[in-house]
Amino acid sequence: MSYDGKINRKLRTVELNDDDECLYKLAYDEEKRSYFTHKDILKYVNEHYLKKDNIIEENLLNDLNTFKTYRDDVEQIYNNQDHINKILSLLLTCVTTIFGAIGNKGNFEYKLLFGLMIVIVYINMIYNVFRTTSKSESYKLKFISNAIYTLETIKEDKYRNGIWCTKSDEKYEGLELTEVKEIRTYTYKATGNKYSPRAMYERKRR
């Protein structure tokens, strides 16, 4: 697939549903989703990219953008949860401070603050457990990042080996892949620049 300068016509953007939630459409999914489980992500990448040899550039680029956008969405949810946790911790600190100041001076107030403090402690504990379970957003972030790294690696490998072309490869259009590699190698060697990308790659490969 040669570079035609029209990549914008091949990319998709997210859509919004009636509740203004983002709808994500992966290239090989039949329906749009607003949510992915970590199992959905693992299964999708394995089936459509790790177990397939014929990978379509357009589909990979769209899926890469989709996963990156979805990661931003999940990170925002996680950050909001973190803010709630900080508020609970601050509230607990305030109640503890007041509790210590009152002491046994007021029996009713003492019991009320003590009960409130216990409730906040339990809520905070339950909330923190919820944020770190296998179904939490923080846990899912690892799988989203792994999917992004995997697709990025595949993309770089395709471009590096000349399977997919970039704008600078237009002059090689119509040539066999082996011929393109020979021309590139000769061009880099002819410059005598040992710090050129190709020369550095050749030294590393040896």
Are 25 and 44 found together in one domain?
yes
User: Which sign does the torsion angle of CA 26, 29, 31, 36 carry?
Assistant: negative
pLDDT average, residue stretch 72-101:
77
Kindly state whether residue 121 falls inside one of the protein's structural domains.
yes
Closest CA to 61 of 141, 144, 158: 158
Kindly state whether residue 190 falls inside one of the protein's structural domains.
yes
Classify residue 180 by burial, with Cβ atoms within 10 Å: 0-12, 13-18, 19+.
middle
Beta-carbon contacts of 158 under 8 Å, excluding residues fewer than 6 positions away, are 55, 57, 164
Are 94 and 180 found together in one domain?
no
The domain tally of the chain equals: 2
Are 161 and 182 found together in one domain?
no
Kindly state whether residue 196 falls inside one of the protein's structural domains.
yes
Is 133 a residue whose pLDDT tops 70? no
Is 119 a residue whose pLDDT tops 50? yes
| Confidence (pLDDT) at 149 | 94
Are 31 and 93 found together in one domain?
yes
Kindly state whether residue 155 falls inside one of the protein's structural domains.
yes
| Confidence (pLDDT) at 201 | 54
User: Bigger pLDDT: 46 or 115?
Assistant: 46
| Confidence (pLDDT) at 162 | 72
Radius of gyration of the chain (CA): 27
Of all residues in the chain, the percent with pLDDT exceeding 90 is 18
Are 101 and 41 found together in one domain?
yes
Beta-carbon contacts of 45 under 8 Å, excluding residues fewer than 6 positions away, are 146, 147, 150, 151
Are 75 and 112 found together in one domain?
yes
Residue 16, phi then psi, degrees to nearest 5: -115, 140
| Confidence (pLDDT) at 3 | 45
| Confidence (pLDDT) at 43 | 94
Are 84 and 72 found together in one domain?
yes
Kindly state whether residue 55 falls inside one of the protein's structural domains.
yes
Are 154 and 57 found together in one domain?
yes
CB 53 within 8 A of CB 45: no
Q: Where are the alpha helices (DSSP H) in 103-176?
A: 107-131, 137-160
DSSP letter for each residue of 129-143: HHHTSTTSHHHHHHH
Residue 69 exposure: Cα atoms within 13 Å on the Cβ side: 19
Closest CA to 139 of 84, 70, 74, 67: 74
| Maximum mean pLDDT: which of 22-26, 33-37, 42-46, 108-112 | 42-46
Is 102 a residue whose pLDDT tops 70? no
Is 47 a residue whose pLDDT tops 80? yes
State the residue range of the domain holding 77.
Answer: 7-168
pLDDT band, residue 163 (cuts 50/70/90):
low
Residue 22, phi then psi, degrees to nearest 5: -70, 135
Kindly state whether residue 154 falls inside one of the protein's structural domains.
yes
| Confidence (pLDDT) at 122 | 75
| Confidence (pLDDT) at 44 | 94
Kindly state whether residue 2 falls inside one of the protein's structural domains.
no
Closest CA to 74 of 13, 33, 29: 33
pLDDT average, residue stretch 121-134:
69
Is 180 a residue whose pLDDT tops 50? no
Kindly state whether residue 1 falls inside one of the protein's structural domains.
no
Is 103 a residue whose pLDDT tops 70? no
Q: Which residue has the tokens 């792994």?
A: 146
Are 26 and 97 found together in one domain?
yes
Mean pLDDT of the residues in the chain: 73
Are 32 and 105 found together in one domain?
yes
Are 26 and 81 found together in one domain?
yes
pTM more than 0.85: no
Kindly report, residue by residue over 56-80, the tens digit of the pLDDT: 888 999 999 999 999 998 888 877 7
Are 113 and 19 found together in one domain?
yes
